[in-house]
Structure 1
Amino acid sequence: MRMKNKNMVNMKTKQRLINSFTLDYHPLVASLLSEEITVQSPSGVIDHLHEHEIHILLKTITLYVISVTHEHFLLLTPEPLFALLRQHPCAQSQKVSLCEYQHSADNIEQTITTLMFTLPALQYSSQSSTLKTLASRLNTAKSNPWLPSNSLPKKNRLALFAGVSPSAIRSDIKKLTSNDGKGNA
């Protein structure tokens, strides 16, 4: 007989049509975000995304939620990319993954603090140099014979999405990370 770990949270992941549910922040999350300064995406940036890009990007997102009703969920951490993408008209007919935590979970506060503090802290070192990473990838992709140049995004488009000047997307003289060149992470 297997015993469940008391510290494990009961959750299930499912796909839902975006237009089939509504979201609000969990009260604890709303409280933690009350003093946070958020940077909004530039006006109209969503209009520059193609439908296939919206579809691909939505597949990368998992919303961490608890259910209030079958059609209403509370977010356990902010998801700014989803908030942006759901504004696009084609997004309403797309699906997104919901990782639904059960209400009976005794440690929902621990889940929220893990998602809102531990996760961003762990991600910081890889995300702090995003613009340099974009520049490096774009430069490398331009010399890659497998990628036709017309399939690569233009630096101006990437700058629009990032809300920066195109000149901000530039490589560092030093290598960003070491990679064995064989596709291994």
Structure 2
Amino acid sequence: MKTKQRLISSFTLEYHPLVASLLSEESTPQFSPTVIEHLHEHEIQLLLQTITLHVIPTTPDHYQLLTPEPLFALVRQHPSVQSQKVSLCEYQHSADNIEQVITTLMLTLPALQYNYQSSTLKTLAYRLNTAKSNPSPPTKYLPKKSQLALFAGVSPSAIRLDTNKLANNDDKGKA
């Protein structure tokens, strides 16, 4: 396995057959094309830096994805993306146990991440609330709740604080 940066316009992707099989019964959420229009070029660049595509090279300019990467699929629709780079973690079919890599990335990893991702909307609400009451970062850099809701594909009212947790936090520090 080796990691390298590639210009996004220099390669094509398709799912590995096992990945396609595992995804065959899933319904994939579709993003409105307008979602991507709300992202600035510097935001796209930062998001791309967080993405590593796990792939097998089939030709020098074609790869098979070993796990879905919905954020990349979304970000790739932005007009400025073709001139950007993304990290590729390349596995060699002969040297790596690809089936084990796929099951680890598609089954074990999501199971381990579940407790952190199950409360994403509440986490967004807490972070936004804390950021608004904090002098840093400046409010001009903060996305609005409605924009976060658009990105998440939910109503702004879904991004809300847990009132039970607020009551518990108010008791912290009291003897």
Alignment of 1:57-72 (within 5 A): 57-72=47-62
AA at the equivalent of 1:115: L
Q: Deviations along 1:129-175, whole A, 9 cap, x unmatched?
A: 00000000000001111221111110010011011111110011244
Q: Which residue of 1 aligns with 2:143?
A: 153
1:25-104 pair list within 5 angstroms? 25-104=15-94
Q: Is the 8 A contact 1:135 1:171 kept in 2?
A: yes
Q: Give distance in 2, aligned partners of 1:103 and 1:167.
A: 46
| 1:99 match: secondary structure | strand
Give yes or no for contact 1:86–1:92 (8 Å, CA) kept in 2. yes
Q: Are 1:169 and 2:163 an aligned pair?
A: no
Say whether residues 1:119 and 2:109 are aligned partners: yes
In 1, Cα distance between the equivalents of 2:45 and 2:116?
Answer: 24
Scaled by the length of structure 2, the TM-score of the pair is 0.92
Q: Distance in 1 between matches of 2:53 and 2:142?
A: 29
Deviations 1:39-64 (A, max 9, x none): 11133211111100000000000000
Using the alignment, how far apart are the partners of 1:132 and 1:36 within structure 2?
25
8 Å Cα contact 1:42-1:160 kept in structure 2: no
Where structure 2 has 5 or more consecutive residues not aligned to the other structure, the ranges are 170-175
Identity across matched positions, percent: 77
Among 136, 142, 147, the alignment partner of 2:132 is 142
Tell me if the contact between 1:42 and 1:161 (Cα under 8 Å) persists in the aligned partners. Answer: no
C-alpha separation between the residues in 2 aligned to 1:137 and 1:172? 12
Match of 1:15 in 2: 5
The CA RMSD over aligned residues, in Å, is 1.4
Cα distance, 1:106 vs. partner?
A: 5.1
Q: Flag structure 1 segments of 5+ consecutive residues without an equivalent.
A: 1-10, 179-185
**Number of residue pairs matched by the alignment:** 167
**TM-score of the pair, normalised by structure 1:** 0.87
Answer 1 or 2: which has greater helix percent. Answer: 2
Runs (4 or more) in structure 1 with deviation over 2 Å come to: 173-176
Q: Which stretch of structure 1 is more off in the superposition, 145-154 or 162-171?
A: 145-154
Query: What's the CA shift for 1:116?
Result: 0.4
